[in-house]
Structure 1
Amino acid sequence: MNQIGKVIVSLVLTGAMIFISFTMIIGAAFTGLGEYPIMFIFVVALTTIIITNCAIFMKGTKKNLKKFTLFFYSVATVILISYVSYQVYQDKLEIVSNQDVDLESYQPASDNDKLVSLDSEPTISITENLPVLVGATALYPLYAAFVKAVYPEGDYNLEDDENIVLASQTGNAYQNLFRGEVDIIFTAGPSERQEKQAENRNVSLDLTPIGKEAFVFFVHADNPVTELTVKEVQAIYSGEITNWNQVGGKDEEIRAFQRPADSGSQTMLEKVMDGKRLMEPPTDEIVSGMGGIIRETANYKNKTDAIGFTFRYFASEMVDKGKIKFVQIDGIDPNKENINNDTYPFTAEFYAITRTDYDNNNIPLLIDWITSEQGQQIIEKTGYVPLKQ
């Protein structure tokens, strides 16, 4: 083959490989595979182009080129298999994330046995001007039970945009309330940022405590650490303590997971820190459809080096299954008795929150009932700790 022919072959093959690799990179980006597969495709494509062109133009190097080609693709294959195996392992890990809760099974209905019921007829019944409700995911089974007790029977389908009983994340619930789209939200108290947002919108909030809950820290069931002090928790999440052997565990680096900003549990962590600066959380890198990298707070992945946090009710089922365990704080278990008597250090109230400028008289009627004996009975039966025991 003459030189012109070689150049033509080189251009055609190089163009084809650039097109194929570019298509694969775009596909990887749009499917959210992350930056490492994209880098792998780029390096393999670039090296393949170089090898191909060397084979076309450099006759005297074919023997060495074959050795290098075999070595390179062997290494690339090992890297690819290792990466895929690791991803499969990661996918099999339990993830503590309230996005995986099947809320549809808790939708209000008179025949829904998953929702608790009163021992007697409710003392109120709301049949018109129904307050629109939304709240944190973990509290949905609770306020869905309120609806079952005092709202008319109906189809409160979560998929219906016109539904008046909604479920959301804490941050979204606050935004719904600020915009006047809902009447009552059921969440933890607002973060400093949410308080500032309300102030900027000239919105005044009325927070009514309706129950109590423990803010808990949990680890893998096989982690030998069973107890942490308040100061140790603060030191772990400020980055001062970085290895489990510093708190009586194995010689293993601590991976301390956090939640998204303005979520109820992240707001509670900020309060636990008591002014100490939080370290940067572990993150997952997700390539968005626009090609940008969005850094999101990682879900808790249940490995032996991990520690996460949530509210007790939400994680109790996983504890019962033996997958994670709550750690004691200052030697005190986060059980109902210790929440009720306030001996557990991280006990928090949760609230029914409204705007002060509401114009529906059924809003205070419902909240007064929730704080009454019947409302508190539903809170206790659902698994939370009522205000009055």
Structure 2
Amino acid sequence: MDDPVAGARPIVWTIWYGVALVIVIMALYDFSPLKKGHLKRITLIGTVLGIVFFGSVKGYYVYTEGLRIEERGVELMDYQPFKEKSDLAELDGESSFKLDSKLPRLDGATALYPLYASFVEAVYPSGEYNPYGIEEWDESPVVSTTTGEAYDRLIRGETDIIFVAGPSDLQVAAAEKAGVQFNMTPIGREAFVFFVHEDNPVDSLKLEEIQQIYAGDLDDWSEVGGETDTIRAFQRPEGSGSQTALQRVMGEEKLMDAPVEDVPEGMGGIIEPTAAYHNHKNAIGFSFRYYATEMVEDHDIKLLQVNGIAPTVETIADGTYPITSEFYAITTEENYETYKPFLDWMTSEEGQTLVERTGYVPLAQD
């Protein structure tokens, strides 16, 4: 997905160059003793330099955008239920549980969409379920708006079940303020992972070292066995599932401010949103394992071991990978009983089969 802000930057810089060139040429025409022929040559040279300048800036932004890992990560339409040649996990036969009326409205994290879309294909009636359809003119009962928005929509009563990591303190507080209580049903397990450029010689970090990096106390790769280079520790926007997971990893350690980027806003204002991860050789980022492995093929990243243990299905299942947690199907307490049969099916053998075949780690079965 192209970044329109980044795409506009070369044009903005070139406009400023053009304005400066025009001012200089006008000043020379009015006040310089140079001959007109010389001034024309200066204008021509300035124009050529402007074209070269534009090309150079454009090339730089094309290069840096190539290092940018898109936050959505997954092309949702590839996992749309009932779509021909879908990438969804499937059961070997028909589901023992079916829904045919009063369909629950579903929403959730991007990386969990392939999972709950497979639930839909197994138990919902065949139909058109547009994952981006949240507008009134194209409203779909099954969408993915990302973690933060899914929590907001559940609190506002705009969706019925959301598929997400556990809530942040702010999300719990927002629910309490609205008089809403969450009912959280664990449906699978996942690893929280950290990744770096594949050429970074560091393969493993201790949990304490990760905490020190994100507290700002450890800021050079040479301090953890790498080359001498400043660590660029990217974060995610507040309220996202992975940012909440990072906050939990930090424990009592204070999380440093996130790297930001200056973005023009309107007519002259500047905003500072959290900088998106760019896969420079000094960068470190984080996500959940499924999400990160979706990105690995195109972006040359490698997952770090934590305390010497790699995040694999086996180490997630047996709990030896140190940053493992459950993810949830969450309803409001008020509506829990209405959707309990569906939630029970998600934790049944059939539902857990889809969890495993999607690429997540199922819950331990009794």
Q: Same fold by TM-score, threshold 0.5 exceeded?
A: yes
- Shift in alpha-carbon separation, 1:322–1:156, aligned structure 2, 3 A: closer
Query: Does the 8 A contact of 1:226 with 1:328 survive in 2?
Result: yes
1:270 to 231, 238, 247: 247
Q: CA deviation at 1:70?
A: 9.9
8 Å contact kept, 2:109–2:146: yes
Instruction: Return closer, same or farther for 1:30/1:226 CA change in 2, 3 Å cut-off.
Output: closer
Of 39, 46, 52 in structure 1, the residue corresponding to residue 26 of structure 2 is 52
Q: Which runs of 5 or more residues in structure 2 are unaligned?
A: none
Asked whether the 8 Å contact 2:7–2:61 carries over to 1, the reply is no
- 2:313 alignment counterpart: 336
Equivalent position amino acid for 1:387 in 2: L
For residue 345 of structure 1, the aligned residue among 322, 336, 342 is: 322
TM-superposed deviation, 1:318: 3.8
Letter matched to residue 383 of structure 1: G
The CA deviation string for residues 328-372 of structure 1, in whole angstroms up to 9 with x for no partner, is 0010100011111111111011000011112872x1110011011
Matching residue within 71, 81, 85 for 2:59: 85
Q: Which runs of 5+ in 1 are unaligned?
A: 1-28
Q: Which moved more, 1:155-164 or 1:130-139?
A: 155-164
SS at match of 2:72: helix
Q: Which residue of 1 is the match for residue 199 of structure 2? A: 222
**Structure 2 CA distance for aligned equivalents of residues 280 and 384 of structure 1:** 31
Aligned letter for 1:140?
Y
Which residue number corresponds to residue 3 of structure 1?
Answer: none
> Per the alignment, do residues 30 and 119 of structure 1 end up closer, same or farther by CA in structure 2, a change over 3 Å counting?
closer
1:90 alignment partner, SS class: helix
Provide the secondary structure at the position in 2 that maps to 1:211.
strand
**1:26-47, Cα deviation, whole Å (9 max, x unpaired):** xxx988735x975674466346
Which position in structure 1 is the counterpart of 2:165? 188
Distance 1:275 1:33, change over 3 A: farther
- 2:212 matched residue in structure 1: 235
Aligned counterparts of 2:40 and 2:98: Cα–Cα separation in 1: 82
Change (3 A) 1:279 1:359: closer
Residue 190 of structure 2: aligned partner? 213
One-letter amino acid of the counterpart of residue 272, structure 1: V
SS at match of 1:267: helix
| CA distance in 2 between partners of 1:188 and 1:64 (Å) | 67
Q: Displacement, 1:162?
A: 2.2
For residue 306 of structure 1, what is the aligned residue in structure 2? Answer: 283
Task: Please give the residue correspondences for 1:20-169 in structure 2 after superposition, counting only pairs within 5 Å.
Answer: 33-34=8-9, 38=12, 41-42=15-16, 45-46=19-20, 48-59=22-33, 80-93=54-67, 95-109=68-82, 112-160=85-133, 161-169=138-146
The alpha-carbon distance between structure 1 residues 128 and 112, as it changes in their structure 2 partners (threshold 3 A), is farther
Q: Which residue of 1 aligns with 2:351?
A: 375
Q: Which stretch shows the higher mean deviation, 287-296 or 122-131?
A: 287-296
C-alpha distance in 1, partners of 2:202/2:178?
45
Q: Distance in 2 between matches of 1:38 and 1:104?
A: 33
Looking at structure 1, the residues matched to 243 and 83 of structure 2 have their Cα atoms a distance apart, in angstroms, of 35
How far apart, CA to CA, are the structure 1 residues paired with 2:304 and 2:8? 34
8 Å contact 1:32–1:288 — kept in the other structure?
Answer: no
Could you tell me which amino acid in structure 2 is paired with residue 249 of structure 1? G
Distance 2:95 2:62 in 1: 50
Find the residue that maps to 1:157 and give its secondary structure: coil
Cross-structure match for 2:257: 280
Residues in 2 aligned to 1:33 and 1:110: alpha-carbon distance in whole angstroms: 35
For structure 1, which segment, 329-338 or 244-253, has the greater mean C-alpha deviation from structure 2 after superposition? 244-253
Larger CA deviation: 66-75 vs 153-162: 66-75
Which whole-Å deviations, capped at 9, do the CAs of 1:59-91 have from their partners, x for residues lacking one?
389999999999988987775554333212113
Residues 244 and 66 (structure 1), Cα distance of their counterparts in 2 relative to 1, 3 Å cut? farther
In 2, Cα distance between the equivalents of 1:268 and 1:69?
56
| Structure 2 residue matching 1:33: 3-state secondary structure | helix
State the identity as a percent: 47
Q: 1:201–1:70: structure 2 CA closer, same or farther, 3 Å change rule?
A: same
* In structure 2, C-alpha distance between the alignment counterparts of 1:165 and 1:360, rounded to whole Å: 20
Aligned residues: 358
TM-score (norm 1): 0.82
Shift in alpha-carbon separation, 1:121–1:204, aligned structure 2, 3 A: same
The residue matched to 1:307 in structure 2 has which SS? Answer: strand
Shift in CA distance, 46/158, structure 1 to aligned 2, threshold 3 Å: same
Measured in 2, the distance between the counterparts of 1:313 and 1:96 equals 14
Deviation for aligned residue 1:98: 3.6
Distance 1:30 1:331 in 2: 40
Question: Matched residues in 1 for 2:268 and 2:178: separation?
Answer: 33
Letter paired with 2:215: S
How far apart, CA to CA, are the structure 2 residues paired with 1:322 and 1:82?
23
Distance 2:50 2:77 in 1: 45
Write the distance in 2 (CA, Å) between the matches of 1:178 and 1:312.
Answer: 27
